[in-house]
Amino acid sequence: MGMGINSRERIARRAAKEIKTGMTVNLGIGIPTLVANYLPADMNVMFHAENGILGTGPSPLKGEEDENLCNAGGYPITIVPGGSYFDSATAFGIIRRGLVDVTILGALEVSETGDLANWIVPGKKVPGMGGAIELAQKSKKVIVLINHVNKDGSPKILKTCSLPLTAPKCVDLIITDMAVFEVTMDGLLLKEIFDPYTILDIRKNTDVIFKIGN
């Protein structure tokens, strides 16, 4: 089941609903970067980047990039009014003090207890874990955006992660191209199903027993 552009956009659009005015938000690389596109234009949100910015704006138009302005992934950005710059130590100070309201991350695997594995596949070259460990541990709310299954059709939501963990028991909400799960003390709670999928599709493609809620 390939991920079309629509499913990525749909995941991002659903994640945007979790963001409220006045929040400080950190967006990871991949699908999370799309979330900003779905916020109302008048919503006052400060996006945080680990390389030392609070208040990143939309991507600049071609030809209007500032070579000194990029996000933690190295992509050109703009700054919103009221935005500020600081060094990386301060950026991580903000994270470690728990001042980030929501962090939205991609993942390789998530477990039923909210363990997150998102930084390394053994044997593959990796750029490093970046701020993921601290963001996952310290943010007030951690939302994971993933394809429900891998390219080979195997589930990404597992009883136990097989890959090295980024952080244990840190995920609050999982949004996939098929469904939305809340991580609770009693395991996963299925909150929403996206068309055209059914409860049977979700069961077949999820490696854990989950409860159904509203």
**Both tokens assigned to 143:** 């939302």
**Residues 53 and 80 sit within 8 Å (Cβ to Cβ):** no
According to DSSP, residue 130 is labeled T
pLDDT of residue 5: 59
Q: What is the pTM of this model?
A: 0.92
- Give catalytic residue positions: 50
Residue 135: pLDDT band (50, 70, 90) is very high
User: Going from the N-terminus, what domains does the chain have, and what CATH number goes with each?
Assistant: 5-212 (3.40.1080.10)
**Residues 26 and 53 sit within 8 Å (Cβ to Cβ):** no
**What percentage of the chain reaches a pLDDT higher than 90?**
77
Residue with token string 């191209």: 177
Per-residue pLDDT reduced to its tens digit, 29-62: 889 988 988 999 889 999 999 999 999 888 899 9
Strand 157-158's sheet: what is its strand order? 116-117, 109-111, 157-158
Of 82-86, 124-128, 160-164, the least confident: 124-128
Helical (H) or strand (E) element with 16: helix 5-16
DSSP helix, strand, coil percent of the chain (3-state; round to 5)? 20, 30, 55
